[in-house]
Structure 1
Amino acid sequence: MNWFESRVQLTPKEIAIIDSETKESWTYEELHERVIKVASIFYTKGVRKGDRVAILAPNHISYFDFFFASMKIGAIFVPLNWRLAKAELYYCLNDCDPQLIGVNRKFKPNLDGVETNATYIAIDTNNYIDELYDQKASFDESLHEEDPLAMIYTGGTTGRPKGVVLSHKSILWNAFNTIVSWGLNKEDTTLTCLPMFHTGGLNVLSLPLLLIGGKVVLTAEFDANSVVADLLEYKCTIVLFVPTMYHMLIGTEAFKTATFPDMNVFVSGGAPCPYKVYEAFSKKGIAFKEGYGLTEAGPNNFYIDPNETMHRLGSVGKPMLFNDIKIMIGEGAIAPVDEVGELYVRGNHAFLYYWNRPEETNATLVDGWVRTGDLARQDADGYVYIVGRKKDMIITGGENVYPLEIEHWLEAHPAIDEAAVIGLPDEKWGEAVAAFVVTKMVLTAEELEDYCKQQLTRYKVPKRFFFVSELPKTAVGKVDKNTLKARYSNTDSTIS
């Protein structure tokens, strides 16, 4: 079954994709015509079922051309992270061994010196197909729902990037689950700013909306003022940003004066969202909620009514209709109400396996459940709260400390712009709680220590404060705590 072709039959003349930069738009029928041509290009260049087709480009219509063409002929779509260091990018290319790579000229230097047998095609404009297409090919591949459709590489902050293989079924069921649980319909429009090499850019809203017949507006770069203008111009009804984007957005005059009359809800994902972002939307009376997911599952797993968000601050809600969750402590024990444990997720939206990583696949997929590596708790009413990454938990003097609680309190300080908390090696405590803060005005470590003591148990109060101009970020805007640990683990100072 090719659901995209069924959608084209139902709403051929409706707008599917808009390029916010060029103002070009494509109906479902026009997008389908592009897909047929790109699939033919793939086929004539030797791409067959199971072959990998990679793309290295900013957000662009070609992502959908490549994805749906891969769906048609049974290839595996591999969007490459253009923010990776060259060594990591080369690793991904050698790992997936693509038959064909589509490259935007902006990122062509990223591939200088790489050795590959892949065929390169240039995707520099929206009309790149015209220079490549010769004639329509015929396809007779037998496709099944368990066949691989996409491979998305994880960020690589904990070692080499892993290729997460998603089947036709897993991508389709994530879209089903999102549409039904979040109440999406064909009148909805989103603005896709998150890079489409990331599951958030591809799978949170873009593909679900195309399945239901909605509209996707593409923008290649995130500029907070331009984003506000685009949201208003295209009458967007739902949008996903990561907390770093919201941090920039709420500080603009454009946001402060806009009313967003068409917007149903702003969604935050990718990392826990600071409470100051919740408050900014609450003050304007605009619906806001937080989601949770990972490349290996979904990435959509929970639903919360936006009317509940300020009453259950920080909650991602309850499991969506077509997936299950459990929170585990130790081996085989379900966590009691409000006790922290590791979050497990199960559903048809789960990934198939890690490419060329059988041992890591077996460690993550356990009896049909995806071990997320994230810590969570569930309250008596069934609402789930993400506490943080299991690997980020700090054990200081035998006590468990969850950085997110401290980060939220620090970021509530009016003089603090951003904060990150990690554990650093310490002879006495094993790990010392260390806080890194970006400030708007001068603060001292003593002032911050006193501030923390107002809210936090003594062992949670940071023993080291570092004042930094900015926090290192990953490719999708998450704070890169591994970089902080690498830079500061050997420091002896308690105050910096």
Structure 2
Amino acid sequence: MVEYIVNWWEKRCLLTPDHIAVVDGETGERLTYSELNAMVKRLAAKLGTHGICRGDRIALLAPNHVAYFEWLFACRHLGAVLVPLNWRLALPELASILADCTPKVIGVHSRFALLAEELRASHAMEVLPLDLAEDLSLACMAAAQDTQPGSAEADPEDPFVMIYTGGTTGKPKGVVLSHRSIFWNAANTAVTWNLTAKDVTPTYMPMFHTGGLNALSLPVLHAGGTVVVVGQFDAEHTLELLNREKCTIALLVPTMYHMLIQSPAFADAVFPTMHTFLSGGAPCPLPVYQAFEAKGLSFKEGYGLTEAGPNNFYIDPQDAVHKRGSVGRPMLYNDVLLADDEGCEVATGEVGEVWLRGGHVFHSYWNRPEATAEVLRPDGWLKTGDLGKRDTEGYYYIIGRKKDMIISGGENVYPLEVEHHLRQHPAISDAAVVGVPDEKWGEAVSAAVVLEEGCSLTQDELIAYCSAAIGRYKVPKRVLFMGDLPKTAVGKIDKSRIIATMLQCGNEA
């Protein structure tokens, strides 16, 4: 039997042609599944005239926009590979990515037209406007239906999307997500999370990131629901949009949730249609949990990475209240293993590296077979580099990055545990814990702290606060107060820069 991946997007458009698929959160423009699919086919035909064939890479440089779905499914139609670019990167960083993936064309939003021209100066690629199929307005959908380019037969392992990682060290890697990867993440999420055609989700996460594209957007479309695409996060606008569009489930990062609960409008806000608020991308501080719990709103955390999903666990929001900080249990169609350094499963309650296996796992790193072999075992297990533990009821907790673990005086210190405690202090807005080289301790537990506006806190006061609640070897020996924590291009805390700053400052307790 020949294995294949069904063209679920086409099937969805046939099943629910008149249901609203995508909403522009800024303009309010709505597209049904049939309308969006007509745009997809028209774009695929036009891209075909530009010589796009199976396996060709198509780069996309745009803020969150409805066109992401148009270009994505046009690539599916042609067998091409979509490479969404992180527009927050500097010109040399984008140039390096383009040199690696060698796209034949790049679709560009008008906002980045000048940047695209600079990139074209050093790369042999054609620059195309994002609205390449602009003549396909809602008024001329009938004309679009006449254009029926042949849909490429997709092998499950054919590359579909390539997302470049935003790591803090080394050259960014192109994570190749095959048709298999995309399909199984969407199907697994839709089934396990009980998504239906009644679900409506806003997409605030950047769509060049797996969180914006794969966490909820594609699973909700898979289920026949509606995706509201929003270009920029604003707390007051978000509170209004969630109710205006009758949203049911939303994914935001902790920073967004912090801004949301700080908004004066949050105190009086009600969300009659929302069944789940989901946090991802980073550990969520306790005050956010408390703020949503006080309003009787369902709130939970998720876990994933570009190389797997990014969805891997499910927890009922009611269980999340009693299992605070847990990401839940494995989803229906993937497996989880907590492994020691020898690859053996650790006992309940012990810390091990999180390994994942399932159809949603990535295919490879683009042109980097050695890097692929380091994390993807022949038996299908992906070694994530993250640490976790499992309780007696089978609920999983993410402890932090394996490479971030601090060994101080022979003791293992997990930064996430200390960071959780620091963030519970009312004067602390954000915190990051790192290990700084130290002659006595090997690594000294050190904290970078951002204070709430108008608050003050001394290093001695912070150390005393930690000493009262956590083991002495976990208490930060050095504290650096910062205006903001440095971030990578995808918004993750850049701990390597924090360590460098601490070494430069010599800020010893």
**Following TM superposition, by how much is the alpha carbon of 1:174 offset from its aligned partner in structure 2, in angstroms?**
0.6
Map 1:49-448 → 2, pairs under 5 A:
49-114=54-119, 115-123=122-130, 127=134, 136=147, 138-139=149-150, 141-366=152-377, 367-440=379-452, 441-448=455-462
Q: Distance in 1 between matches of 2:257 and 2:182?
A: 27
Of the structure 1 ranges 341-350 and 252-261, higher mean CA displacement relative to structure 2 is found in 252-261
The SS at the match of 1:18 is strand
- CA distance in 2: counterparts of 1:138 and 1:268, whole angstroms: 40
- 2:34 aligned partner, one-letter code: E
Map of 1:33-52 to 2, 5 A cutoff? Answer: 33-52=38-57
Asked if the contact 2:68–2:207 (Cα under 8 Å) also holds between the matched residues in 1, the reply is yes
SS of aligned partner of 2:107: strand
Contact 1:326/1:343 (8 A) holds in 2? yes
Question: Residue 460 in 1 paired to residue 465 in 2?
Answer: no
Aligned residues of 1:88 and 1:160 also touching (Cα < 8 A): no
Q: Is the 8 Å Cα contact of residues 242 and 477 (structure 1) preserved in structure 2?
A: no
Which amino acid letter does the alignment assign opposite residue 230 of structure 2?
T
% of aligned pairs identical?
54
- Answer yes or no: is the 8 Å Cα contact 2:202–2:229 preserved in 1: yes
Deviation at 1:124, TM superposition (A): 6.2
Q: Distance in 2 between matches of 1:66 and 1:362?
A: 31
Structure 1 residue 494: Cα displacement:
1.1
DSSP 3-state at the match of 1:240 = strand
Q: Distance in 2 between matches of 1:289 and 1:185?
A: 19
Letter in 2 for 1:413: H
Which residue type is aligned with residue 284 of structure 1? K
Q: 1:422 to 1:125 in 2, by over 3 A?
A: farther
Give 3-state SS (helix, strand or coil) of 2:480's partner: strand
Query: 2:340, 2:346 within 8 Å by CA — same for their partners in 1?
Result: yes
Q: Distance in 2 between matches of 1:37 and 1:156?
A: 36
Structure 2 letter corresponding to 1:235: K
Give the distance between the partners of 1:408 and 1:430, measured in 2 at CA: 23
Which amino acid letter does the alignment assign opposite residue 5 of structure 1? Answer: E
Residue-by-residue CA offset, 1:277-305 (whole Å, 9 max, x unaligned) = 11111111000010000111111000001
Distance 1:55 1:371 in 2: 29
Which amino acid letter does the alignment assign opposite residue 324 of structure 1? D
Q: What letter corresponds to residue 434 of structure 2 in structure 1?
A: I
Aligned counterpart, 2:140: none
The alpha-carbon deviation at position 129 of structure 1 amounts to 5.8
Instruction: State the partner residue of 1:489.
Output: 503
Compared CA separation, residues 280 and 125, structure 1 to 2 (3 A): farther
Instruction: Output the CA distance in 1 between the equivalents of 2:217 and 2:174.
Output: 21
Q: Report the count of equivalent residues.
A: 494
The structural deviation recorded for 1:51 is: 0.3
Report the CA distance shift for 1:124/1:50 in structure 2 as closer, same or farther (over 3 A). closer
Deviation at 1:18, TM superposition (A): 0.4
Amino acid at match of 1:85: A
Whole-angstrom distance in 1 between the partners of 2:439 and 2:114: 46
User: Distance between the aligned counterparts of 2:274 and 2:152, measured in 1?
Assistant: 42
Cα distance between partner residues in 2 of 1:140 and 1:234: 33
What TM-score, normalized to structure 1? 0.97
Secondary structure of the residue that 1:82 maps to in structure 2? coil
CA-based RMSD of the aligned residues comes to 1.7
Alpha-carbon deviation of 1:472?
Answer: 1.4
Deviation at 1:248, TM superposition (A): 1.1
Q: CA deviation at 1:147?
A: 1.3
Distance in 2 separating the partners of 1:156 and 1:336? 31
Distance across 1 between alignment mates of 2:469 and 2:223 = 46
Q: 1:125 to 1:42 in 2, by over 3 A?
A: closer
Letter matched to residue 204 of structure 1:
A
* Corresponding residue SS for 1:489: helix
- Matched-pair contact (CA < 8 Å) for 2:108–2:116: no
**CA distance in structure 2 between the aligned counterparts of 1:469 and 1:299, rounded to whole angstroms:** 31
Distance in structure 1 (CA, Å) of the matches to 2:92 and 2:227: 33
SS at match of 2:321: coil
Asked whether the 8 Å contact 1:181–1:303 carries over to 2, the reply is yes
